Structure 1
Amino acid sequence: MLLPIYIYGSAVLRKESEDIAKDYPELDKFLENLWETMYEADGVGLAAPQVGRNIRIFVVDASVNADKDPSLAGFKKAFINAHIYERSGDAVPFDEGCLSLPGINERVERPSRIRIRYADENFVEHDEEFEGFAARVIQHEYDHLDGKLFIDHVSPLRRTLLKSKLAAMTKGKYKAHYPCKLVKK
């Protein structure tokens, strides 16, 4: 089932998310809906807060970049109760966008490597290192779990230049080809 993606200005996007237990109600169905929603919206990642739930879950399919980086072939993962505990490497700039901020793209610098602990969809625990594009997408989605957005990483000048677009978005003025929702409470 397609879930509406919450748009910038929705309070759920700025709240810190909580870990869940293995017996979280209908977890399999929720993950299936996250994947379906992400693919329908042409995303490479989607976090639970983006669909209105402040729980520490996100999904990533970085295989779209396998032509540039063969290590990304088949890179499709669910991250449950994710916690990044190390960031390293050079800060690498890259143009990022977000399904919760349709039509806005900005250059964001992020560390090139991360270490993260998480559980997969079967609640098997993992402790892994990722680098390059995979690390970037994971960091972007992980930020949602902490109530952060990619625009929080741009310079104050760029944020000032985005102010009118963001204000318009909070008033429902945006275009997206996928179901969206704006909830300010």
Structure 2
Amino acid sequence: MTIRPIVRFPDLRLRSVAEPISVFDDELRRVADDLTETMHAAPGIGITALHIGMLKRLVVIEVSPTIGPRCYVNPTILWASDEMIRHVEGSVSMPGVTEEIERHARVRIGYQTLDGDEAVEEAEGLLAVCHQHEIDQLDGLFWIERLSRLKRERLVKRYQKQQRRL
């Protein structure tokens, strides 16, 4: 397993749409392992292949160490509740800044396993937020685009100021 460099905001690759995965092999497993290591090192609770510069629909999420990391290949949202929740979000590609985002409280996602098997998962709360956040990323929608223009501009300025201090 290797910790890979993370693509940082404002890199345009973070606005790219990831391509579906059709080959389920040892290389895919290696990338998933590397994503897991990279996510832990960041640290974060979710990461996509786009975060390491690969335009592939692969996500790793770990919201609880007792459950461990889960890999999702080609995930899509099949259903979302009408009920909404607000949750503080950030990104491994934009470390050090967070903001509250409104998302669906519950979702059902379809995805494939690392073996290519079809699966469905229902999630609520933090896991539902993570699924929506990472699937947005795969669809070329960086999380700050969910903010109002004013909040987004303030957040970007905070991030830039922080980066100058490093």
Distance 1:52 1:62, change over 3 A: same
Offset of 1:165 from its aligned partner? 3.6
Q: Judge which range, 22-31 or 7-16, deviates more.
A: 22-31
When normalised by structure 1's length, the TM-score is 0.81
8 A contact 2:84–2:102 mirrored in 1:
yes
Q: CA RMSD in A?
A: 2.0
3-state SS in 1 of match to 2:81 = strand
**Corresponding residue SS for 1:5:** coil
Counterpart residue number, 1:77: 70
Match of 1:156 among 140, 145, 149: 149
- If asked which structure has higher relative contact order (CA below 8 Å, sep 6+), I would say 1
1:83-162 superposed matches below 5 A:
83-162=76-155
Offset of residue 137 of structure 1: 1.0
Tell me whether 1:40 sits opposite 2:41 in the alignment.
Answer: yes
CA contact (8 A) 2:25 2:115 kept: no
| In structure 1, C-alpha distance between the alignment counterparts of 2:160 and 2:15, rounded to whole Å | 16
Q: Is the 8 A contact 1:112 1:131 kept in 2?
A: yes
Q: By how many angstroms is 1:85 displaced?
A: 2.2
Distance in 2 (CA, whole Å) between partners of 1:57 and 1:79 is 6
Q: TM-score with structure 2 length normalisation?
A: 0.90
Note the residue ranges of structure 1 that are not aligned, 5 or more in a row: 65-72, 176-185
Deviation at 1:24, TM superposition (A): 5.7
User: Aligned partners of 2:128, 2:30: CA distance in 1, in Å?
Assistant: 26
In 2, the alpha carbon distance for the partners of 1:132 and 1:58 equals: 18
Count of residue pairs the alignment pairs up: 165
Distance in 2 (alpha carbons) for counterparts of 1:52 and 1:81: 16
Counterpart residue identity of residue 6, structure 1 = V
Measured at CA, do residues 29 and 35 of structure 1 come closer, stay the same or move farther in structure 2, by a change above 3 Å? same
Change beyond 3 A, Cα 1:98–1:129: same
How far is the alpha carbon of 1:23 from its aligned partner?
Answer: 4.0
TM alignment of 1:16-31, pairs within 5 A: 16-23=17-24, 26-31=27-32
Report the Cα offset of residue 18 of structure 1: 0.9
How many Å apart are 1:59 and its aligned residue?
Answer: 0.3
Letter in 2 for 1:126: A
Identity %: 32
Structure 1 segments (4+ residues) deviating >2 Å: 22-25, 162-169, 172-175
Structure 2 unmatched runs, 5+:
none
